[in-house]
Structure 1
């Protein structure tokens, strides 16, 4: 099994839902499976296996989860496959589900069971023939480059007033900004939120300069605990977070200073905590999905280390994942951002040059995030990596993130 999550944003860059895409088999080893589609099999919705095993809290922070279904799986016993509340699941249909009596009847049944419904890959010419199905839909996913949203908004408001319009394939920040300015769409899906910074436009926020200083202290080859403690002391939020952690560790000991707290944690744990805590702070003025993205990347990369025979490099791979969007965090190009922080040579090579041993893992993770199962399968075959171990590494990263940043 393979699975990944793709976010859907609103006009304020807040994540409102996630689409979960799963793959049961290694496509590269089973090329006769349905054209590399993101689902396979007839009677089982593999995405629902993921949702049920992990729960919507772990997967999406309690937000709705879009689950693809096809012309076969729509007739499966969905209620038996899914153990989470039906109103948290959006069954994502496509044009393989025809506006025919058997499908219309099934769509009505699923709606009556409490599931939300969405339609994708539906050309404009099919809007009218699909009227009975669209009347039951809560969302429709539209390719923004092929539709006049103002005309579409008028049409859907008049004919389907309860349906939400989702723009897909939003690949750049400029596209997102233009679409949100024009209005019309309720949700947006695409890679725009994590596109590399091509040109620096701002000075680094003074508070972020302090965080960069702290990162450089702890990522030095043999940093001094007192130096790290002194930099932590400049930021009240970090001080509070550090004391909360240490007080849980030292049940019967009185913490007398920040230096004392740092010493209690020790060099290894302090370094790990600072890298994750500071990354959260650097992302504070960015879409929340950036924090989630880099945190899960970091843990996923660390978990994959053993599979790539790099177990000893796990901590550095964790750093690579954390810093994989540092250009976005600092509003600098990747080269300028990496010139500001201390990172291992192989991490810099992976992030800046897209080369080296570490880049193999970073590239794999990015393909995995995009649900590019054909390429993911090919890479697993090339490196003799077990698919189930990859899946467990990803789920472990999701659980770690859930526990690191509890849902509030």
Structure 2
């Protein structure tokens, strides 16, 4: 039986990804096999932590796991090393004596505990000394009210970390940061901060020129070499990256042409989307680039599973460019005009139309753990949900492996 999960990044004030919340389908009314919260949590733990000892889909970062009432009462987290994950106490848990004893035991055993979707009530006050993180859902708890709670506890010397959930815009991120939140969860990082036409920096223009070349059916390596050679920093990153991948070679790769030929078309596209874009806009969060890559891989692999004829390279480019407006802070329509993309890719990126648009909407729905939309799109695309789930999980593991071969962002 397959695992059905999505992951959502948790970022700090510098927009660095410090972990991922792993979201299993959350109840019997969702689209996947009808199992309850307890079994969902147990399956997620068994599939992702028990066999491997660490989680392959969090890129070595912290995993935030939801635990229902019964799992906590039965001390299920004690079956796993205390550094494996952060225990999220679901908002549906009853704050009774039995739960408090379990929380105390886990706290004293060294586990990190978080109160999920927290709403301050007198019943939860006695739990606060034993938790490390409190999560507020900004769609439920106004930032101003949460900020008052944070200040009141900080004034008392509390060392609790506060996490803002469902942060959807950069303005919300800034307001939550000013209110005292330490961590942030939501897709604010994957939306353009300035949706208006503006001049691109030279490094961003270099990236756009590279994008033009890798968008063509056949990559012209000579043209790519000339573009990369105009930028010293980018040239260094290319050689550094390729030599990291080929450390077993007796003689290191020392020329652009050698590097490009070694990479080949497929790996070159991966290199450009991460290294070149992160070089172009260095203040963007790392999660943005890996989300682009993960969507590209997911779209490429899923296109090969559909019963209609879809160019997998077009599918890859659709996923790859789905966040281009966020990376360069320009309207997607203006950017697409500058790229040699086929009509189906353009329609998918601008209007989410066609089979490619359906795949992209499915990727976005999975990122957001929108199981109802996933079910509807699977029916429209005539594909089994288990195939989609496995493809998504594979794309997460793939991007984790790819991440390990890349140079660090400056």
- What per-residue deviation string (whole Å, max 9, x for no partner) do you get for residues 257-286 of structure 1? 534544455556545544554344345331
In structure 2, the CA distance between the partners of 1:80 and 1:196, relative to structure 1 (3 Å rule), is same
Question: What does residue 340 of structure 1 align with?
Answer: 338
Residue pair 2:6, 2:24 contacting (<8 A) in 1 also: yes
- What per-residue deviation string (whole Å, max 9, x for no partner) do you get for residues 329-382 of structure 1? 111111112222222221211111121110111000101000112222333344
How far apart, in 1, do the equivalents of 2:184 and 2:333 lie? 29
In structure 2, the CA distance between the partners of 1:29 and 1:92, relative to structure 1 (3 Å rule), is closer
Question: What does residue 348 of structure 2 align with?
Answer: 350
> Matched residue pairs, number?
399
Residue pair 1:137, 1:163 contacting (<8 A) in 2 also: yes
Residue pair 2:135, 2:164 contacting (<8 A) in 1 also: yes
Displacement of 1:117: 0.7
Displacement of 1:231: 1.5
Return the TM-score normalized by structure 2. 0.85
Question: What does residue 136 of structure 2 align with?
Answer: 142
Question: What does residue 291 of structure 2 align with?
Answer: 293
- What per-residue deviation string (whole Å, max 9, x for no partner) do you get for residues 223-264 of structure 1? 433222211212334434544537939957896853454445
How far apart, in 2, do the equivalents of 1:288 and 1:261 lie? 24
In structure 2, the CA distance between the partners of 1:114 and 1:10, relative to structure 1 (3 Å rule), is same
Question: What does residue 168 of structure 1 align with?
Answer: 165
The answer to whether structure 1 residue 230 and structure 2 residue 232 are counterparts is no
Displacement of 1:141: 1.0
Residue pair 1:170, 1:176 contacting (<8 A) in 2 also: yes
Q: What are the residue-to-residue correspondences of 1:46-195 with 2, within 5 Å?
A: 46-47=44-45, 49-52=47-50, 58-76=56-74, 78-79=76-77, 82=80, 85-124=81-120, 126=121, 128-144=122-138, 145-146=141-142, 148-157=145-154, 161-180=158-177, 182-195=178-191
In structure 2, the CA distance between the partners of 1:318 and 1:213, relative to structure 1 (3 Å rule), is same
Residue pair 1:68, 1:93 contacting (<8 A) in 2 also: yes
**Match 1:365 to one of 360, 363, 367:** 363
How far apart, in 1, do the equivalents of 2:248 and 2:13 lie? 45
The answer to whether structure 1 residue 18 and structure 2 residue 23 are counterparts is no
Displacement of 1:400: 1.9
In structure 2, the CA distance between the partners of 1:372 and 1:74, relative to structure 1 (3 Å rule), is same
Secondary structure at 1:20 match in 2: strand
Displacement of 1:205: 0.9
Return the TM-score normalized by structure 1. 0.85
Question: What does residue 386 of structure 2 align with?
Answer: 388
Secondary structure at 2:341 match in 1: coil
- Structure 1 unmatched ranges of 5 or more: none
How far apart, in 1, do the equivalents of 2:300 and 2:367 lie? 16
Taking only aligned residues, the RMSD between alpha carbons, in angstroms, comes to 3.2
